[in-house]
Amino acid sequence: MADIIQLLPDHVANQIAAGEVVQRPSSVVKELLENAIDAEATTIKLIIKDAGKTLVQVIDNGKGMSTTDARLSFERHATSKIRTADDLFQLHTKGFRGEALASIAAIAHVELKTKQEHDDVGNAIIIEGSSIVSQDIVVTPKGTSISVKNLFFNIPARRNFLKSNAVELRHIIDEFHRVALAHPNISLSFFNNGSDVFNLSMGNYRQRIVSIFGNKTNEKLVPVEETTEVLKISGFVGKPEFSKKTRGEQYFFVNDRFIKSGYLNHAISSAFDGLLKNGLHPSYFLYLTVNPQTIDINIHPTKTEIKFDDEHTLYALLRSAVKHSLGQFNIAPVLDFERDPNLDTPYDYNKSEANNPVIEVDRSFNPFKESYNPGKQTTAFKTQTLTNWDSLYVGLESKGNDFRKEFSEVHFESEESTESIFGSDTQAEYVQTTYQLHNKYIVSTIKSGMLILDQYRAHQRILYEDFLKSMTIKEGMSQQLLFPLELHFSTTDIDIIKQLKQDLEHAGFVFSNIHKDLVEIMGLPVNIPEHDVRNILEYLISDVENEVPDSNFSATDLLAKSMAKSLAIKRGQSLKKDEQEHLVNSLFACKEPNVSPNNKATFITMSVDELDKKFI
């Protein structure tokens, strides 16, 4: 039998490796920004076109590379960070595996310009699909400029799996946020299709957070500081009253590297026990410094997951530090056994004697003596009451007879008989009854058995069709506010609201002004309470960020779904009898009552025969 195992060609191996490192344009942004930071750059510029599909360019003023290093940087496993396997546990830099540039060059057109500080001229290299097209001397400033064009040009299947420009741009902004928050000592700027998105100057952690998420964020932050032999914690957590229903503003950094950790996130959530309502999530920006030997970074291709040597200790320290900060800044209730000086007796009363209480009694008081009563009106009233009391019963006997006569001829108006939506022919044969089970489900009897309805999904379907109808005909009813409602959002969230402004106006929203980080609303759709507006917009922004658009993608449909999801009756909410019946009737008046807007079942039915089988 012939041999069937063979070595892959280099360009195929590079494309396979690129599948692990480069998943979308944001992966390229992450790798290039980290390389610029490792080059000790103090100013970094990111330029994006068509959400990174056409161009991703990073320009820095770092150390630059020599001619040989510039050429070797595109070889697989070529790195200046490690020499032995032990170096993997002494990492103080971002990139270390030497696969980023090689993987990017295998699936894109790459142009590199770099120059070291002491050199007169720099080097320019052009690579297309792992093949070097040219390498020349070029005049360029100190540092490195690398352009990645036409991503996945030689893998059209991978390019077809990319999402819309809005979704891909959001992923790029997320990566930019992570790098910018981890390095406030570096000046960063971000340009998208020629427009300025971010221009962040050097500063401290608080200034960097405020510059990214808006000036209103400054009053939301509670500082967290703790230093131990195992762990150093610094950063901020958000006040409970500013918590959100989405997990957008949650950042962990370990040794200036962004990570995701559900275990450490649970430590933060447990520190907020009793301070947050159900379904709300706290915001935090926490920077952890640990010994590099106690963590393993090389367990995930994107290096966003880290394995800790002792997670339990970190959990306890993190939870205690956050809880201490919340109590220290009077965010959470704490027990304080110190003496309150406000309760002390003033020094002026040091030698004063307490006054004995004095009780004065009018010994001449006689309530039965008429002459004692000073008010003549009261005496006259008593006399009139005593003399005219019998007039109250005059004609009572005749009235009583008429009363009995009237009620002997009472006729009751019968209600109009209506046909039931469940197929009952007459009201006498069938009476609809409902019962709420565990404040989550509504059980209703039907002709063939019983119906079990999910109240949250059912109400979502009802609201969804109502909102979709009003937005489609563009006649959404609006209720004007007495005073404008001012809501603060981050710069990227404001951009999403601007994109959806027209659809929101069709739904009934009235915007008076939209600033850089402020939205002013003068009118709201009918039946939407003012205190729910922020939650609705946050849900909408989150849905837009995470939506997977296709050829039938509609911003109107997404808006209707988001508003229905945020305003629907939640599970655990008790409903009255008439509310239960109204919900059932409204659901079956919808065009598609069987499923929620997210294509999940709204109800199930169980026939009498199926119930009988349960008791066999």
As a whole number of angstroms, the distance between CA 173 and CA 248 comes to: 12
Top mean pLDDT of 57-71, 96-110, 396-410, 514-528 is at 57-71
As a whole number of angstroms, the distance between CA 464 and CA 599 comes to: 12
Reported as a pLDDT band with limits 50, 70 and 90, residue 415 is low
Q: Give the DSSP letter of residue 431.
A: -
Structure tokens belonging to residue 415: 């209600």
Phi, psi of 242 (to 5 degrees): -105, 15
The residues, any chain, with a CB within 8 Å of residue 297's CB and separated by 6 or more, are 88, 91, 257, 303, 306
**Residue 246 has what pLDDT?**
75
**Of 91-100, 160-169, 174-183, 362-371, minimum mean pLDDT range:** 91-100
Q: Are 494 and 506 in contact (CB under 8 A)?
A: no
Phi, psi of 59 (to 5 degrees): -120, 130
Q: Which of 32, 21, 24, 31 is nearest to 50 (CA)?
A: 24
- Whether the predicted pLDDT of 41 surpasses 60: yes
Q: Tell me the fold of 212-328.
A: Ribosomal Protein S5; domain 2 (3.30.230)
Which helix (H) or strand (E) segment holds residue 378: the answer is helix 376-387
**Residue 285 has what pLDDT?**
94
Structure tokens belonging to residue 41: 């750059």
Q: Are 184 and 253 in contact (CB under 8 A)?
A: no
The residues, any chain, with a CB within 8 Å of residue 153's CB and separated by 6 or more, are 107, 108, 109, 129, 159
As a whole number of angstroms, the distance between CA 471 and CA 468 comes to: 5
Structure tokens belonging to residue 327: 């109590």
Grouping H, G, I as helix, E, B as strand and the rest as coil, residue 566 is: helix
Q: Are 281 and 243 in contact (CB under 8 A)?
A: yes
Q: What is the pLDDT of residues 536-555, one digit of tens each?
A: 888 788 777 765 444 345 66
Q: What is the pLDDT of residues 583-600, one digit of tens each?
A: 999 999 999 999 998 889
Q: Are 492 and 173 in contact (CB under 8 A)?
A: yes
Burial class (CB in 10 A: 0-12, 13-18, 19+), 46: buried
Strand order in 55-60's β-sheet?
131-138, 122-128, 109-115, 143-149, 55-60, 43-49, 187-192, 195-200
Q: Tell me the fold of 434-605.
A: Ribosomal Protein S8; Chain: A, domain 1 (3.30.1370)
Cβ neighbours around 519 below 10 Å, total: 24
**Average pLDDT of the residues in 161-165:** 83
Q: Tally the C-alpha atoms within 13 A of residue 12's C-alpha that lie toward its C-beta.
A: 4
What are the Cα distances from residue 340, in Å, to 337, 345, 346, 347?
9, 11, 13, 16
As a whole number of angstroms, the distance between CA 488 and CA 506 comes to: 22
Reported as a pLDDT band with limits 50, 70 and 90, residue 455 is very high
As a whole number of angstroms, the distance between CA 308 and CA 336 comes to: 36
As a whole number of angstroms, the distance between CA 69 and CA 40 comes to: 16
Q: Give the DSSP letter of residue 62.
A: S
Please, which residues bridge with residue 478 across strands? 525
Q: Which of 180, 176, 181, 161 is nearest to 56 (CA)?
A: 176
Q: Tally the C-alpha atoms within 13 A of residue 309's C-alpha that lie toward its C-beta.
A: 9
Domain boundaries in the chain? Answer: 10-200, 212-328, 434-605
Top mean pLDDT of 111-120, 332-341, 357-366, 384-393 is at 111-120
Q: Are 13 and 99 in contact (CB under 8 A)?
A: no
End-to-end CA distance of the chain: give it in Å, rounded.
62
Residue with tokens 């044969």: 429
Q: What is the pLDDT of residues 229-278, one digit of tens each?
A: 888 999 999 998 888 877 778 999 998 888 888 888 899 989 998 888 77
Grouping H, G, I as helix, E, B as strand and the rest as coil, residue 515 is: coil
Q: What is the pLDDT of residues 267-300, one digit of tens each?
A: 998 999 888 877 788 899 999 998 888 877 766 6
Integer-rounded Cα Rg, in Å, for the chain is 36
What is the residue type of 492? Answer: T
**Torsional class of 483: left (φ above 0), alpha (ψ -120 to 50), beta (otherwise):** beta
Structure tokens belonging to residue 226: 């703790």
Any idea of the CA torsion for 193, 194, 195, 197, to the nearest 10 degrees? 70
Q: What is the pLDDT of residues 424-450, one digit of tens each?
A: 444 444 456 788 888 899 999 888 889
What is the residue type of 42? Answer: T
Strand order in 221-227's β-sheet?
221-227, 232-238, 284-289, 250-254, 257-259
**Residue 299 has what pLDDT?**
61
Q: Are 183 and 195 in contact (CB under 8 A)?
A: no
Sign of CA dihedral 324, 326, 328, 330: negative
**Residue 124 has what pLDDT?**
93
As a whole number of angstroms, the distance between CA 322 and CA 589 comes to: 50
As a whole number of angstroms, the distance between CA 412 and CA 506 comes to: 47
Grouping H, G, I as helix, E, B as strand and the rest as coil, residue 490 is: coil
- Show the DSSP H helices in 230-295 as ranges: 262-271
Q: Which of 25, 94, 104 is nearest to 303 (CA)?
A: 94
As a whole number of angstroms, the distance between CA 174 and CA 186 comes to: 17
Any idea of the CA torsion for 105, 106, 108, 112, to the nearest 10 degrees? 10
**Residue 291 has what pLDDT?**
86
Residue with tokens 């989150």: 542
Architecture per CATH, 10-200 = 2-Layer Sandwich (3.30)
| Geometric angle at alpha carbon 376, from 373 and 380, rounded to 5° | 110
